[in-house]
Structure 1
Amino acid sequence: MTRPKIAFIGAGSVEFTQGLLADLFAFPELKRAHIALHDIDAERLATADAAARYIAEERAADARITAHRDRRACVADADFVLNTVNIGMRDATRTDFDVPARHGLRQTIGDTLGVGGVFRALRTFPFLKRLGEDVAELSPDAWLLNYTNPMAMNVQYLAQATGLTRVVGLCHSVYWTMRDLSELVGVPYDEITYRAAGVNHQSWVLRFEHRGRDLYRRLDELIAEDAQLRRRVRVDMYRRLGYYPTETSEHSSEYVPWYLSHDSEVERLRLPIGAYLDMVDDNVAAYHETRDALAQGAPLAVEGTMEYAPQIIHSMVTGTPRTVYGNVPNGGLIDNLPAHGVVEVPCLVDASGVQPTRAGSLPPQLAALNRAYLSVTDLVVRAALYDEPRHIRHAAMTDPATAATLTVDRIWEVCDAMVRAHGDLLQPSLRVLLAGRADG
């Protein structure tokens, strides 16, 4: 594989694409890769193309770079397909916040669970089905590396709707959690030993050590000394559950029923309601800055991001063994979670591909929370697979934070409002209004 073809689907997410390319071209063995870029937005695609060529030049890479409005041409004969698509972009994301807010629901990120996560998945599934069919037909040996959220819902849907087996969901939350924890306890990241497992955005640090010494004891001391640390959701969860969650407090607050529905907890734990909308605006501003800099011939910052996809690609191309965290169908990897659900576990990577490792059983309190998360995920996937609009409502009724805030009537009403708001982005069978019809 002297010139692997790496297809970027949703390359117009320019800032993310730039980071991935900087990581890829940092490896000498990948400097000759064929980088195929696809986006449906012509301006964003042109910006991604110009940025890729700039980064290749800066990294002294002899890459072949092609840009495609046609997704199938981009995917054809690819060795790796990276999906970073956001269906509906900023407008749809704003809808995911504004409509639930009018019905009394608070969200911070809204991209994984909750009403926002449910409908983000439902508007993404039709695209994923087409992409999966393209990969199966045009590059059947390719690895599909998914970055698009909601991760667990999207990977489960891809596995069940398309039959693809070389699908891995990638997220940097475990890596950056461990970087932050190592800094907090004052031990260099390269010297710590850790293991985590669970589900995406709700995995758990099961082992955290330095040369055989349990670093959880040092973390306990720091938390006891610092009242501000105790005002973080993930620290609050750790103190009560015994294991540290691998996602930010903003994310973590949305997957449990304890925080967002209580004014006092929002205040105590400093939860920024609607925080993701600011991030979306920042990303749009960053895109405009990149576009304008390229048009003016100004320099771009070329910085690596330590993302998993470039590491996976390098390991498969060169045979270099690595361990990364991936999201894959469970199938017995975690004993006390559903077999068909998507779990996040350490994966070994080398020339033979991505090989998930078995985690055994999670502590029961952790598995209980993960099962609630996977129950929501499964109902959303079933809604799409079986054309069953009632399962959208069942998913929202099952969602911990939603159920803690709204009555069942209000849950069905907000689902109807979201169906109206997202309109043609949903598959036709799910554009059904059911409020006031508990029998469906």
Structure 2
Amino acid sequence: MKGLKIVTIGGGSSYTPELVEGFIKRYDELPVRELWLVDIKEGEEKLNIVGDLAKRMVKKAGVPMEIHTTLNRREALKDADFVTTQLRVGLLNARIKDERIPLSHGLIGQETNGAGGMFKALRTIPVILDIDKDMAELCPNAWLINFTNPAGMVTEALLRHGNNKKIIGLCNVPIGMEMAVAKLLDVDHSRIRIDFAGLNHMVFGNNIYKDGINVTEEVINKIANGEMGGVVKNIKDFDWMPEFIKGLNIMPCPYHRYYFQTKEMLEDELKEFSKGETRAEVVKRLEDDLFELYKDENLNVKPPQLEKRGGAYYSDAACRLISSMYNDKKDIQPVNTRNNGAIKGIDENSAVEISCIITKDGPKPIQVGEMNVQVNGLVQQIKSFERLVIEAAVTGDYNKALVALTINPLIPSDKMAKIVLDELLVAHEDYLPQFKEVIEKLKKEK
């Protein structure tokens, strides 16, 4: 067999050992012969550290997988079969600003929700579209598997404005929800399936099955009774009101706490902020510790400490998806893909996070009709926000950016939206060339 060439952009990420482990575990069914790890000059040191660890992992496993590291994206992309993206424009310092600036105005400061999520998208979408251009030239038949947050907006930007339509967005939250249900019911993950529908970080579990039998009511009751543990490490695990969960009657994802428990989440964030701490700064310390571990020449496996980073099950999600496509398994997995009428009331060209049949030709969304009335309004509101953010990212339209932020449920008024928007635009000047004229004007007005 010729084997596969896979390129990971953002290869110096602390998550990369997860991905390498996933490919090693599946080597018999997914023969990755070349894995190219790509990064930028600012990430060169981390890229070399992760690359050396990946080589040690592959050597220990005894699989014929070549690991290449490079700062030359075009060199890496030539004739790739799959490209995965896990990049962070502006690195963690940009995330710190995304969290600190909203919190300084008494608003939720979070990486993928509200103002922080919007600015991560504004920085990221132009870069991802550049990658897409290179792929159209150098590997036009490759699938792009995007793990970069905010994954839904990035995926939709590619679907609407990219050259290549072979795009899939991926998130570890749905597989984390499956794992949490498996633990709750004390069964192996393979026996659990959830019908997912919604948007990225706004996805719901409509029906839950154990061995093909619908156990949704049992799981909802257990969640209502506070029996389910945390799904992801990076979100505070406040208990849900029992009556609320029973009334909702579908499984929420952890990110719904920002919308259904806004007061508690904000109070907790402000408490940490008053101590000079945000989640971004916690992550920065975790990353520093992880890379110290990765430097150890005796380390040749993924260290367990990586799970504290918040990306648990990333490799399972990414590698099972690529394997299912390569082997045309036609199994069911939740991904971000073009709606194509699967969720009624959402534009067919929009990205949705939904359970799909995974084939060699990509994901086929399973039709769900309208979202439940309990959640349909919130999903529609967030989709409107996402679409306006994407347009602002592509065009540099300040007015669209302001409307986008104002209609987000985590922002209380247009005046507050403008204050935060202006401050974040100036703070991220280096990474927002599409807003150059606007930013110059804002700086003069100061």
TM-score by length of 1: 0.87
Q: Is the Cα–Cα contact under 8 Å of residues 389 and 431 in structure 1 kept in the other structure?
A: no
Counterpart amino acid of residue 10 in structure 1? G
Alignment partner of 1:307: what SS? helix
Against the structure 1 CA distance between its residues 299 and 17, is the aligned structure 2 distance closer, same or farther, given a 3 Å change threshold? Answer: closer
Tell me whether 1:252 sits opposite 2:251 in the alignment: no
Q: Is the Cα–Cα contact under 8 Å of residues 224 and 246 in structure 2 kept in the other structure?
A: no
In structure 1, the residue matched to 2:239 is 232
Against the structure 1 CA distance between its residues 68 and 152, is the aligned structure 2 distance closer, same or farther, given a 3 Å change threshold? Answer: same
Q: Is the Cα–Cα contact under 8 Å of residues 208 and 215 in structure 1 kept in the other structure?
A: yes
Q: Is the Cα–Cα contact under 8 Å of residues 175 and 317 in structure 2 kept in the other structure?
A: no
In structure 1, the residue matched to 2:330 is 321
In structure 2, the residue matched to 1:333 is 342
In structure 1, the residue matched to 2:77 is 75
Alignment partner of 2:369: what SS? coil
Higher mean Cα deviation, 353-362 or 373-382? 353-362
Q: What does 1:115-134 align with in structure 2 at a 5 Å threshold?
A: 115-134=115-134
Residue from 383, 388, 391 that aligns with 1:379 = 388
Against the structure 1 CA distance between its residues 126 and 352, is the aligned structure 2 distance closer, same or farther, given a 3 Å change threshold? Answer: closer
Query: Cα RMSD between the aligned structures?
Result: 2.8
Residue from 54, 59, 62 that aligns with 1:60 = 62
Report the Cα distance in structure 1 between the residues aligned to 2:87 and 2:256, rounded to whole angstroms.
Answer: 23
Report the Cα distance in structure 2 between the residues aligned to 1:158 and 1:264, rounded to whole angstroms.
Answer: 32
Alignment partner of 1:400: what SS? coil
Q: Tell me how far 1:32 sits from its aligned partner.
A: 4.8
Counterpart amino acid of residue 53 in structure 2? A
Against the structure 1 CA distance between its residues 152 and 432, is the aligned structure 2 distance closer, same or farther, given a 3 Å change threshold? Answer: same
Q: Is the Cα–Cα contact under 8 Å of residues 197 and 343 in structure 1 kept in the other structure?
A: yes
Spell out, residue by residue over 1:44-66, the C-alpha distance to the aligned partner (whole angstroms, 9 max, x if none). Answer: 22112212211111221101222
Report the Cα distance in structure 1 between the residues aligned to 2:111 and 2:261, rounded to whole angstroms.
Answer: 17
Against the structure 1 CA distance between its residues 66 and 212, is the aligned structure 2 distance closer, same or farther, given a 3 Å change threshold? Answer: closer
Q: Tell me how far 1:337 sits from its aligned partner.
A: 2.1
Report the Cα distance in structure 2 between the residues aligned to 1:218 and 1:44, rounded to whole angstroms.
Answer: 45
Tell me whether 1:16 sits opposite 2:15 in the alignment: yes
In structure 1, the residue matched to 2:307 is none
Alignment partner of 1:244: what SS? coil
Against the structure 1 CA distance between its residues 3 and 380, is the aligned structure 2 distance closer, same or farther, given a 3 Å change threshold? Answer: same
Q: Tell me how far 1:385 sits from its aligned partner.
A: 2.6
Q: Tell me how far 1:266 sits from its aligned partner.
A: 4.5
Alignment partner of 2:344: what SS? coil
Residue from 356, 370, 374 that aligns with 1:347 = 356
In structure 1, the residue matched to 2:198 is 198
Tell me whether 1:282 sits opposite 2:286 in the alignment: yes
Q: What does 1:79-94 align with in structure 2 at a 5 Å threshold?
A: 79-94=81-96
Report the Cα distance in structure 2 between the residues aligned to 1:282 and 1:86, rounded to whole angstroms.
Answer: 16
In structure 1, the residue matched to 2:398 is 389
Report the Cα distance in structure 1 between the residues aligned to 2:98 and 2:117, rounded to whole angstroms.
Answer: 8
Tell me whether 1:176 sits opposite 2:176 in the alignment: yes
Report the Cα distance in structure 2 between the residues aligned to 1:140 and 1:227, rounded to whole angstroms.
Answer: 48
Q: Tell me how far 1:325 sits from its aligned partner.
A: 1.1
Q: Is the Cα–Cα contact under 8 Å of residues 119 and 418 in structure 1 kept in the other structure?
A: yes
Report the Cα distance in structure 1 between the residues aligned to 2:321 and 2:222, rounded to whole angstroms.
Answer: 35
Against the structure 1 CA distance between its residues 221 and 419, is the aligned structure 2 distance closer, same or farther, given a 3 Å change threshold? Answer: closer
In structure 1, the residue matched to 2:370 is 361
Residue from 96, 99, 118 that aligns with 1:97 = 99
Q: Is the Cα–Cα contact under 8 Å of residues 222 and 228 in structure 2 kept in the other structure?
A: no
Counterpart amino acid of residue 152 in structure 1? G
Alignment partner of 1:348: what SS? strand
Report the Cα distance in structure 2 between the residues aligned to 1:354 and 1:87, rounded to whole angstroms.
Answer: 28
Q: Is the Cα–Cα contact under 8 Å of residues 56 and 299 in structure 2 kept in the other structure?
A: no
Residue from 287, 307, 312 that aligns with 2:316 = 307
Against the structure 1 CA distance between its residues 58 and 359, is the aligned structure 2 distance closer, same or farther, given a 3 Å change threshold? Answer: farther
Against the structure 1 CA distance between its residues 272 and 185, is the aligned structure 2 distance closer, same or farther, given a 3 Å change threshold? Answer: farther
Q: Is the Cα–Cα contact under 8 Å of residues 237 and 244 in structure 1 kept in the other structure?
A: no
Task: State the aligned residue count.
Answer: 419
5+ long unaligned stretches in structure 2: 230-236, 305-311
Spell out, residue by residue over 1:111-135, the C-alpha distance to the aligned partner (whole angstroms, 9 max, x if none). Answer: 2220000001111122112101011
5+ long unaligned stretches in structure 1: 436-440
In structure 2, the residue matched to 1:438 is none
Report the Cα distance in structure 2 between the residues aligned to 1:98 and 1:17, rounded to whole angstroms.
Answer: 27
Q: Is the Cα–Cα contact under 8 Å of residues 111 and 120 in structure 1 kept in the other structure?
A: yes
Against the structure 1 CA distance between its residues 226 and 389, is the aligned structure 2 distance closer, same or farther, given a 3 Å change threshold? Answer: closer
Tell me whether 1:219 sits opposite 2:208 in the alignment: no
Higher mean Cα deviation, 339-348 or 367-376? 339-348
Report the Cα distance in structure 2 between the residues aligned to 1:343 and 1:234, rounded to whole angstroms.
Answer: 28
Report the Cα distance in structure 2 between the residues aligned to 1:236 and 1:284, rounded to whole angstroms.
Answer: 42
Counterpart amino acid of residue 73 in structure 1? E
TM-score by length of 2: 0.86
Report the Cα distance in structure 2 between the residues aligned to 1:80 and 1:212, rounded to whole angstroms.
Answer: 32
Q: Tell me how far 1:3 sits from its aligned partner.
A: 1.7
Against the structure 1 CA distance between its residues 187 and 42, is the aligned structure 2 distance closer, same or farther, given a 3 Å change threshold? Answer: closer
Spell out, residue by residue over 1:302-361, the C-alpha distance to the aligned partner (whole angstroms, 9 max, x if none). Answer: 679452221232233333333221101212121122333210112222333333332222
In structure 1, the residue matched to 2:427 is 421
Percentage identity across paired residues of the two chains: 24
Spell out, residue by residue over 1:373-427, the C-alpha distance to the aligned partner (whole angstroms, 9 max, x if none). Answer: 1111011011123331111111110100112xxx322210111000110012013
Report the Cα distance in structure 2 between the residues aligned to 1:317 and 1:300, rounded to whole angstroms.
Answer: 25
Q: Is the Cα–Cα contact under 8 Å of residues 125 and 394 in structure 2 kept in the other structure?
A: no
Counterpart amino acid of residue 289 in structure 2? A
Report the Cα distance in structure 1 between the residues aligned to 2:424 and 2:374, rounded to whole angstroms.
Answer: 33
Report the Cα distance in structure 1 between the residues aligned to 2:10 and 2:225, rounded to whole angstroms.
Answer: 45
Counterpart amino acid of residue 423 in structure 1? E
Q: Is the Cα–Cα contact under 8 Å of residues 146 and 155 in structure 1 kept in the other structure?
A: yes
Alignment partner of 2:406: what SS? helix
Q: Is the Cα–Cα contact under 8 Å of residues 221 and 246 in structure 2 kept in the other structure?
A: no
Against the structure 1 CA distance between its residues 271 and 26, is the aligned structure 2 distance closer, same or farther, given a 3 Å change threshold? Answer: farther
Against the structure 1 CA distance between its residues 241 and 20, is the aligned structure 2 distance closer, same or farther, given a 3 Å change threshold? Answer: same
Counterpart amino acid of residue 180 in structure 2? D
Alignment partner of 1:160: what SS? helix
Counterpart amino acid of residue 424 in structure 2? M
